[in-house]
Amino acid sequence: QSVLTQPPSASGTPGQRVTISCSGSSSNIGSQTVNWYHHLPGAGPKVVIHSNNLRPSGVPDRFSGSKSGTSASLAISGLQSEDEGDYYCATWDDSLNGPVFGGGTRLTVL
Amino acid sequence: QVQLVQSGAEVKKPGASVKVSCQASGYSLTGYYLHWVRLAPGQGLEWMGWINPHSGDTKYARKFQGRVIMTRDTSSSTGYMELRRLRFDDTAVYFCAREDKGMAGTYWFDPWGQGTLVTVSS
């Protein structure tokens, strides 16, 4: 059972906008910044958003992140087939004194 | 470019130990904390712990304390994660990841190694 809660799946057609939610508590999202990772089988995850809403260089501006209270969201606009894969939210948990992750959301581009 | 390259897949029996390596290139291993994270079938990512390659200090997640040992060899820019007394539910892909930091004390993992599949089977 993951500390952060994400929907198991999401989908959209090319060009659409999708959002993925991540719910936590006051000991994690409520007091820390959130990062988002994209994972494809056979490779290591890649950061797409860090520090709630910052995009690393090389990540398209179609990706955006936000945080409010104890929840965070990842939005992907202009959906493309290459966006398929698993997305994980992550943050620090003060009670557990370590990083925690969501259970992952599998994004399918129809 | 900055990258982490991990050792190959392993098959182990229950009760045995496994040691996974993670070689850094494109940056100084001792300049950044190195974390280990695993992904079990049907589960989410799970943090196992970190090592400060400069000092050798470590911090392990409570769940793995007593079973995991993280070490490093600065001469070869390589980090290691050894997991002992393997159980069937330790079957997972194990990743190393470099901790990157922002100006305001925020941090994230970048890059990650490609992952090492460890299968525990009798």
* pLDDT tens digits in sequence order for chain A, 110 residues long: 899 999 999 999 999 999 999 999 999 999 999 999 999 999 999 999 999 999 999 999 999 999 999 999 999 999 999 999 999 999 999 998 899 999 999 999 99
**According to the model, what pLDDT value does residue B109 have?**
97
For residue A9, the one-letter residue type is: S
**According to the model, what pLDDT value does residue A1 have?**
82
Q: How confident is the model at residue B102 (pLDDT cuts 50, 70, 90)?
A: confident
Sorted by sequence, the CB contacts under 8 Å of residue B63 that are 6+ apart come out as B46
A-chain CB neighbours of B112 within 8 Å are 44-46
Q: How confident is the model at residue B40 (pLDDT cuts 50, 70, 90)?
A: very high
| Candidates A5, A33, A34, A54, partner chain B, best to mutate (most B CBs within 10 A) | A33
Averaged pLDDT for residues B15-23: 98
Measured in residues, chain A has a length of 110
Of A83, A32, A37, which Cα lies nearest the Cα of A62? A83
Query: Tokens for A69?
Result: 């209270």
Burial tier of A107 (Cβ tally within 10 Å: 0-12, 13-18, 19+): buried
- Nearest 5°: phi and psi at A57? -60, 140
| 76-95 in chain A: CB under 8 A from chain B | 88, 90
Residue A7 preceded by cis peptide, ω within 30:
no
Buried b (16+ CB within 10 A) or exposed e, A34-67: bbbbbbeeeebbbbbbbbbbbbeeebeeebbbeb
